[in-house]
Amino acid sequence: MAVLDIVTFPEPSLRLKAKPVTKFDKEFQDLVNDMFETMRAAPGVGLAAPQIGQSIRLVVVEYSEDEDENAKPKTYVLVNPEIVKHSEETVTDIEGCLSVPGLVGEVERYEAVTVKALNRFGKPSKIKAEGWLARIFQHEMDHLDGVLYIDRAENVYQPSPEEMATLRD
C-alpha cells in the first residue's frame, strides 16, 4: 500500500466529471487500499478518487458514529454512487476538505440520504445514512462531479487553530 499525493485547489482536474468504474481487478483493489491509507495519513474521514488525480467514480469513507475513541470505525467503498433518496430536512454545518487545505465553510446538506452504489468487488449495495455520515457521503460524491464544498458554502474562512482541532474533516 502507498500514501498518494492529494490534489489541491485550484488544480483543474478537481473540476472534471469522473468516469464510471467498469473494472474491479487487482489494480483497482490496490487503488482502494491506497486511498484508505492516504485518507488515514492525511488525516481525513473520506476521499474521492479525483482528489488523488484519478478521474473515476470511487469514494472511500471511514467513520464512526460512536463518540468513544476506541470504537472501531466503519469503512465504506462507494463505486459509481448515486443518491436515490434524501430527506426534505437540511442542516448547515462546517466542512473542510483535504483538497482545500486551511479553509472551512458553512455548507447546507440533506440530513439523510440513501445511496445506491457498487462495493469494491462490483456488487450492488444500498446504504441509508444520516447526520455526519450523510454529510460525508454528499461531500465526497460532489467531488465525482467536479464540485467542491467551497462552491456550496455560504461562508468560507480560515479557522483558528483551536477551531481546527474540533472540526471533523
List active site positions: 140
Tens digits of residue pLDDT in 109-129: 999 999 999 999 999 999 999
Burial class (CB in 10 A: 0-12, 13-18, 19+), 7: middle
Distance of alpha carbon 61 from alpha carbon 71, whole angstroms: 16
DSSP string, 93-141: EEEEETTEEEEEEEEEEESEEEEEEE-TTS-EEEEEEEHHHHHHHHHHH
**Domains with residue ranges and CATH for the chain:** 12-166 (3.90.45.10)
Tens digits of residue pLDDT in 28-51: 999 999 999 999 999 999 999 999
